Structure 1
Amino acid sequence: MKKEFTLQLSPEQAYDPLVFQETVLKKAGLPLDSKDVIARQVKRSIDARGRQVRVNVQAELFIKEQAPSLLNNSPSYSNVSNSDQIIIVGAGPAGLFAALRAIELGVKPIVLERGKDVRARRRDLAAITKDHIVNPDSNYCFGEGGAGTYSDGKLYTRSKKRGDIRRIMEILVAHGATEEILVDAHPHIGTNKLPKLVAELRQSILDAGGEIHFDCRVDDLVIEADEIKGVITQHGETIKGLGVILATGHSARDIFQLLHQKRVLIEAKPFALGVRIEHSQNLIDRIQYHCQVDRGPYLPASAYSLVSQTEFKGKQRGVFSFCMCPGGYIVPAATSPGELVVNGMSPSRRDSKFANSGIVVSVELEDLPQYQKHGPLAAMYFQEEIEKKAWKAGGETQVAPAQRMVDFVENRVSTSLLDTSYQPGLQAVEMRDVLPDFISARLAMAFKSFGQKMKGYYTNESQLIGVESRTSSPVRIPRDRESFEHLELKRLYPCGEGAGYAGGIVSAAMDGERCAEKLIAAYVKR
């Protein structure tokens, strides 16, 4: 027999398995020592709006029967080693899920990744942090798994138009993610667990006869009569296929430049730019959970989401939190020497003493009149210039420019900086010397506004660390709404974050699946 319950629980009742079991048994009117019963959570979300934090739980109780798996479908991959082949450029979430979907549809994917496999990639990440050496092909953005691998692994998305979110989650679980991601309202995996999961995705592709080539940057395109026939790699090898899925991520500037040089239609795209803000996690917990000392043993590290509308020189722009990492770390995310970029990540336990979030300002193309000479690359060159200024301000290493929050708003260089999770180190600067006026003025307005929404957020016990500039691609590669094919170049399928059609692991994965489906439906003979 199965019973279902909608419960509002205390953190202990929700997160302590034994207490949860007892709570459900009481709700069902069963003795606490009942045998052959299984209680489990199906959905869980935290409600911290009141003075007492509650956890909303949808639960199931199975009496004298086995609980079925939470997975509705287990993927099955037949061997495609001798099948028609397609080319996928990039082994991030979009590329990997495009490859898996191609295999499901009986087509062989050849995945070309400029970076290294997920394990070898660690050495290059260590070199950025310890020695301030940036490998332009292997870093926090490039390499197996893409930018998401060494990040929080946040899986929450509002994008439901391009695929089945549950399906993506179940594929992740089938490759090693915990079933908790099917339960939590805002699921995440964690930077410590993502690499193994990515390696399992790779193994599924290889076991089914697909190919993945690392250290294999695409340097040119093979175009004949308005059709893309294949690509040319850094090694001079020409690889051809029935079509090309371009899933390079939002930082592949060389690909954007290549497309522009080849007269392949691309467009400048609005994006967002700002800084990382770092507080102590305890401060954020006390604000969000209304606690006096700490959040206690049951509640997870708290997160926040903030947005403010600002006006500067007659123009309205949004300022918002981006990629908030509770219990996390700030990391160096540059993709070339001579630039400085920061990003956030968290381990699965989210147990760092720091909380960080991007706080970024919407940048519209009309904000960049002096860059219009660069045409569709205008926003990209603006982004690049700010990153170079940040690198110089930090001392021309991966030491990041920083400033305490109130000091920034009140226009004074901080005489000291706080402890930080950013391992390369910080340099106290006036961040207004790094950021354009229209960015820094809006950030200052927003910080005061955020302090009114979250009492205690606006404080000199927090600091700005710059710059957070890789929020999304500054370029869009236009495609047909229905076919997903490039508007002018046949057989090219722009995909994921780099093409301007996704904003995170799950939305990129869904977009990858749909691109594979569209390409195969159009060009693979059945």
Structure 2
Amino acid sequence: MIRITNVKLPLDHTPDQLQAEILATLKIQAEQLLDFTVFRRGFDARSKHKISLMYTLDVETYNDEALLKKHSQNQNIRPTPDMSYKYVAQAPENLTERPVVVGFGPCGIFTGLVLAEMGYKPIILDRGKEVRERTKDTFGFWRNRTLNTESNVQFGEGGAGTFSDGKLWTQINDKKHYGRKVMQDFVDAGAPAEILYVSKPHIGTFKLVGMVEKMRAKIIELGGEIRFNSRVDDLHIEDGQITGLTLSNGQQIHSKYIALATGHSARDTFEMLHHKGVYIEAKPFSIGFRIEHNQSAIDEVLFGKNAGNPLLGAADYKLVHHCKNGRSVYSFCMCPGGTVVAATSEEKRVVTNGMSQYSRNERNANSAIVVGIDPKDYPSDSPLAGIELQRQLESAAYVLGGENYDAPGQLVGDYLAGKSSAQLGKIEPSYKPGVKLTDLTKILPDYCLEAIQEAIPAFNKKISGFALKDAMLTGVETRTSSPVCIKRGDDYQSINTKGLYPAGEGAGYAGGIMSAAIDGIRVAEAMALAMNEAQ
């Protein structure tokens, strides 16, 4: 097949125009074209008054080879690459022990799935509940303020990514096409087929729930085992080699191959690892607030008269500002047409995050506006000092919000003016259980507050209305990424604990659904190769 890139057409083009562009690019007649599929579709909205669709197409003709030779100097016409996933190993028939995967979020799911597909029959442990029970607990907290510390936005089947916008793009180098496998597996589990070709694919929480269940069923069908309500409380290490683990119910599992895919909020697990001597470093992360605007206003600013076009969907944005005090402020986890959600996993703490459904049709757009920090900003030189800082900020937010899991909030205009908010403006906050208007400057360190106060007017120059006085700030955003890195070597094993495979976002090697899933595949491959070599 032939891959054609950079095909540009008007937003309102017809299917016939797309075919005509293929014929013109290849300089062939219609009868020479057998078929074509869309590999990627994005849009160029640099001019909101003239938005164009951009295509990458895979084309089949009667004579692909001759056409490729004819257009060999055209960088936009190349052979379609083989993007199929290639398994690196298969389990031997005499496999003596089973690998263990700790955590069943995006990373753990794909670690377990690929191990199962290669025949290794993994045992997968998750401290939380299966996804539908977990959803009941999570919505129960949002509605009734009843927190289950083992079943919430952070813990349970599907991981933190289940209650998110479900974004499926990443900037990592993916020469082996792991991302394509992830996307295809998602489609096979019930995701919309469009995620295979739209430039910014997403799924949304309700669709993710059903998909996770189907992927679980596939792992079980292939011989894997999944145990919920199974928190790992101890690791067994002998002479630097992992030999097994102990669960919270006292049960012990033997294995010399354990993948650790806990997610970024497994603070008690990080503490246990540090106590056991597994090498951990403090790493940078970011802190800040959630900001909300009317989605229709964002659409109008970015898309102009094209706002509302179904091919464009709800507009998103990505912003960054480098401040005078040396800090960087940026938008993070932007959720078009979504809601701000309560994301704590510990009692008497308030944490915000963002979530969207597939439709992205809620009233507000929300995004984290966060400031980058690093270990020199932490309260001590302990590898776990970032966790200590997170807890301090989340506890302060709990108190400022009224000590009932309401989040503290403030209008942007009041925040910039340095005064407490007393009543809402035009933007109704979406956070549940609720928002208490107050003065958010009482939460973050001064250098963060100053940076955000400088950044919001700067962002307003890029998106008119961003500094709207009625826009809503809600605090506090602290779970942007893991505050620790569990160091591993080129073989994906802990640098001082053989057989332990730190993986995904919690270990410091991913930042979102796609990168976590891809890291899970890489870890599964490393485990399989090591197990075969040991045989």
TM over 0.5: yes
Superimposed CA distance per residue, residues 360-393 of structure 1 (whole angstroms, 9 cap, x where no aligned partner): 100111123xx216x1111110011100111111
Q: Which residue of 2 aligns with 1:49?
A: 46
Q: Which residue of 1 aligns with 2:122?
A: 109
Q: 1:297 to 1:213 in 2, by over 3 A?
A: closer
In structure 2, what is the Cα distance between the partners aligned to 1:162 and 1:513?
13
In structure 2, what is the Cα distance between the partners aligned to 1:398 and 1:71?
51
Residue 460 in structure 1 maps to residue 490 in structure 2? no
Q: Which residue of 2 aligns with 1:89?
A: 102
Once the two structures are TM-superposed, the CA of residue 37 in structure 1 deviates from its matched residue by 7.9
Q: 1:60 to 1:222 in 2, by over 3 A?
A: closer
In structure 1, what is the Cα distance between the partners aligned to 2:227 and 2:244?
15
In structure 2, what is the Cα distance between the partners aligned to 1:340 and 1:162?
40
- Is the CA contact 1:74–1:174 (under 8 Å) kept in the aligned structure 2? no
Please report the RMSD computed on the Cα atoms of aligned residues, expressed in angstroms.
Answer: 2.7
Q: Which residue of 1 aligns with 2:396?
A: 389
Q: Which residue of 1 aligns with 2:491?
A: 483
**Equivalence map 1:243-254=2 (5 Å):** 243-254=257-268
**Equivalence map 1:208-227=2 (5 Å):** 208-227=222-241
Residue 421 in structure 1 maps to residue 465 in structure 2? no
Superimposed CA distance per residue, residues 211-270 of structure 1 (whole angstroms, 9 cap, x where no aligned partner): 100011111111222211111001100011131111000000000111122222211111
Aligned residues: 506
Superimposed CA distance per residue, residues 35-54 of structure 1 (whole angstroms, 9 cap, x where no aligned partner): x9866422111111112222
Secondary structure of the residue aligned to 1:172 is: helix
Once the two structures are TM-superposed, the CA of residue 73 in structure 1 deviates from its matched residue by 4.3
Q: Which residue of 1 aligns with 2:308?
A: 295
Residue 192 in structure 1 maps to residue 201 in structure 2? no
In structure 1, what is the Cα distance between the partners aligned to 2:436 and 2:286?
24
State the one-letter code of the partner of 2:531: Y
- Is the CA contact 2:288–2:448 (under 8 Å) kept in the aligned structure 1? yes
In structure 1, what is the Cα distance between the partners aligned to 2:105 and 2:451?
33
Once the two structures are TM-superposed, the CA of residue 425 in structure 1 deviates from its matched residue by 1.5
Q: Which residue of 2 aligns with 1:165?
A: 179
In structure 2, what is the Cα distance between the partners aligned to 1:197 and 1:39?
28
Q: What TM-score comes out, normalization by structure 2 length?
A: 0.88
**Equivalence map 1:128-147=2 (5 Å):** 128-147=141-160
In structure 1, what is the Cα distance between the partners aligned to 2:345 and 2:477?
13
State the one-letter code of the partner of 1:279: H
In structure 2, what is the Cα distance between the partners aligned to 1:80 and 1:357?
48
In structure 2, what is the Cα distance between the partners aligned to 1:265 and 1:25?
57
Q: What TM-score comes out, normalization by structure 1 length?
A: 0.90
Q: 1:162 to 1:442 in 2, by over 3 A?
A: farther
Between the two proteins, what is the percent identity of the paired residues? 39
Superimposed CA distance per residue, residues 109-146 of structure 1 (whole angstroms, 9 cap, x where no aligned partner): 11000001111111111111111121111101111110
- Is the CA contact 1:326–1:346 (under 8 Å) kept in the aligned structure 2? yes
- Is the CA contact 2:405–2:433 (under 8 Å) kept in the aligned structure 1? yes
Secondary structure of the residue aligned to 1:331 is: strand
State the one-letter code of the partner of 1:454: I
In structure 2, what is the Cα distance between the partners aligned to 1:122 and 1:71?
39
Q: 1:479 to 1:161 in 2, by over 3 A?
A: farther
In structure 2, what is the Cα distance between the partners aligned to 1:11 and 1:119?
39
**Equivalence map 1:50-449=2 (5 Å):** 50=47, 51-59=49-57, 73=84, 83=95, 84-160=97-173, 164-291=178-305, 294-312=307-325, 316-368=326-378, 371-372=379-380, 375-417=382-424, 418-449=427-458
Q: 1:80 to 1:338 in 2, by over 3 A?
A: farther
Superimposed CA distance per residue, residues 277-328 of structure 1 (whole angstroms, 9 cap, x where no aligned partner): 1111011111111339x4345421000000011133xxx1211111111111
> Which of 513, 523, 529 is residue 521 of structure 1 equivalent to?
529
State the one-letter code of the partner of 1:206: I
- Is the CA contact 1:118–1:195 (under 8 Å) kept in the aligned structure 2? yes
Secondary structure of the residue aligned to 1:145 is: coil
Secondary structure of the residue aligned to 2:380 is: helix
In structure 2, what is the Cα distance between the partners aligned to 1:162 and 1:133?
45
- Is the CA contact 2:242–2:255 (under 8 Å) kept in the aligned structure 1? no
Superimposed CA distance per residue, residues 343-368 of structure 1 (whole angstroms, 9 cap, x where no aligned partner): 11111111112101111100111123
Residue 473 in structure 1 maps to residue 482 in structure 2? yes
Secondary structure of the residue aligned to 1:380 is: helix
In structure 2, what is the Cα distance between the partners aligned to 1:162 and 1:475?
27
Q: 1:143 to 1:81 in 2, by over 3 A?
A: farther
Once the two structures are TM-superposed, the CA of residue 519 in structure 1 deviates from its matched residue by 2.3
- Is the CA contact 1:402–1:427 (under 8 Å) kept in the aligned structure 2? yes
State the one-letter code of the partner of 2:370: V
Once the two structures are TM-superposed, the CA of residue 79 in structure 1 deviates from its matched residue by 9.6
In structure 1, what is the Cα distance between the partners aligned to 2:58 and 2:453?
48
State the one-letter code of the partner of 1:489: T
Once the two structures are TM-superposed, the CA of residue 202 in structure 1 deviates from its matched residue by 0.6
In structure 2, what is the Cα distance between the partners aligned to 1:289 and 1:37?
36
Q: 1:297 to 1:488 in 2, by over 3 A?
A: closer
Secondary structure of the residue aligned to 1:523 is: helix
Residue 22 in structure 1 maps to residue 19 in structure 2? no
Q: 1:121 to 1:214 in 2, by over 3 A?
A: same
- Is the CA contact 2:232–2:247 (under 8 Å) kept in the aligned structure 1? yes
In structure 1, what is the Cα distance between the partners aligned to 2:186 and 2:256?
28
Once the two structures are TM-superposed, the CA of residue 29 in structure 1 deviates from its matched residue by 7.4
Q: Which residue of 1 aligns with 2:75?
A: none
Q: Which residue of 1 aligns with 2:70?
A: none
Secondary structure of the residue aligned to 1:384 is: helix
Please list every run of 5 or more consecutive structure 1 residues that lacks an aligned counterpart in the other structure: 14-18
Q: 1:483 to 1:70 in 2, by over 3 A?
A: closer
